[in-house]
Amino acid sequence: MNHNTATIAVRELTRKFGPFTAVDHISFDVYAGEVFGFLGANGAGKTTAIRILTGLLMPTSGQAQVAGFDVWRQPEQIKRHIGYMSQKFSLYQDLTPLENIRFFGGVYGLSLRTIRQKSEMLMERLGMQAVAHRLVGTLPLGWRQKLAFSLALLHEPRIVFLDEPTSGVDPLTRRTFWEMIRTEAAKGTTIFVTTHYMDEAEYCDRVSIMVRGHIAALDTPQALKVQFGAEHMEAVFLKLTRPSEL
């Protein structure tokens, strides 16, 4: 992790929907090569914040730069320079792996030659040559996950947003997926990830927890556990989001 290079810089970022403030003056930096866990209860404002940071939604006030581009003035540049993956949608199930690569390569404006090279390289690296022409929907989940993650990285973004990438996945695939995330981060890619699995918060370098539009806590998992006198991240999460019950 390189603390000198903030690939995401957020200052007093705010988004209102009518009288409701979904994101309320949040500020943080995320660094190159960092795995940043973005946690919070349902309705805390995570999705709104992610939509702003991925160039899909304008803020109401505040500043944010993503991969060096401004969310106000350069949302299209942001979209081009980030990767995105969610469990709900990341691959066309009724296309083959090769067709998916060609589609996403085309969307990101890669040349046909680059797409061809990337296709060969990916199929070999993922060990998927034998299934390159089978429909993605018929492939085992582990392969689909690896392929989806590789596609989010196809255009070599400096930042990849992973929105609940492991929800509904078996425990082995889930843990193996996190190994892939750590490997990619070690190459210098920034990983911005959300999850409802609290054990996965432990795999992050730093974790932020959003509560009602604010960032209620932000630190390493270790420091958060010390700060809140909790043994696990789940207890940290509970203390922050439902303090009245404890």
Partner 1 sequence: MSIQVHGLVKRYGPLTAVAGVSFEVAAGEIFGLTGPDGAGKSSLFRMLTTLMRPDEGGGKVVGFDMLDEFLEIRRRIGYMPDVFSLYEDLTVRENLNFFARVFGVRIEDNYHLIREVYEPLKPFEGRRAGHLSGGMKQKLALSCALIHQPQALFLDEPTTGVDAVSRKEFWDILYRIRARGVAILVATPYMDEAARCDRLALMQQGRLLTQGTPQALLESYPHHLYAIEVAQPWRWLELLRSHPKVHRAVLAGEVIHVSSLEPLDLTYMRQWLVDSGVTAANFYPVQPDIEDLFIALMDQKAHPTGL
Q: Which is nearer to partner 1, 16 or 232 (CB)?
A: 232
Q: Which residues bind partner 1 (CB under 8 A)?
A: 40-43, 127-128, 139-143, 146, 164, 167-173, 175-176, 178-179, 182, 196-199, 202-203, 221, 232-234, 237-238, 241-242
Give one DSSP letter per residue of 187-206, joined into a string.
TT-EEEEE-S-HHHHTTSSE
CA distance 171 to 216: 29
At closest approach, how far in Å is the CB of 71 from partner 1? 25
Closest approach of Cβ 34 to partner 1, in Å?
Answer: 13
Measured from the Cβ of residue 164, the count of other Cβ atoms closer than 10 Å reads 17
Residue with Cβ nearer partner 1 (9 or 126): 126
> Least distance from C-beta 40 to partner 1, angstroms?
7
Q: Give the nearer residue to partner 1 in terms of CB position, either 49 or 66.
A: 49
CB of 43 or CB of 106, closer to partner 1: 43
Q: Which of 87, 112, 84 is nearest to 170 (CA)?
A: 87
**CB-based contact 37:215 (threshold 8 Å):** no
**Least separation, in Å, of the C-beta of 178 and partner 1?**
6
Residue 177, C-beta contacts closer than 8 angstroms, at least 6 positions apart: 145, 146, 149, 165, 166, 169
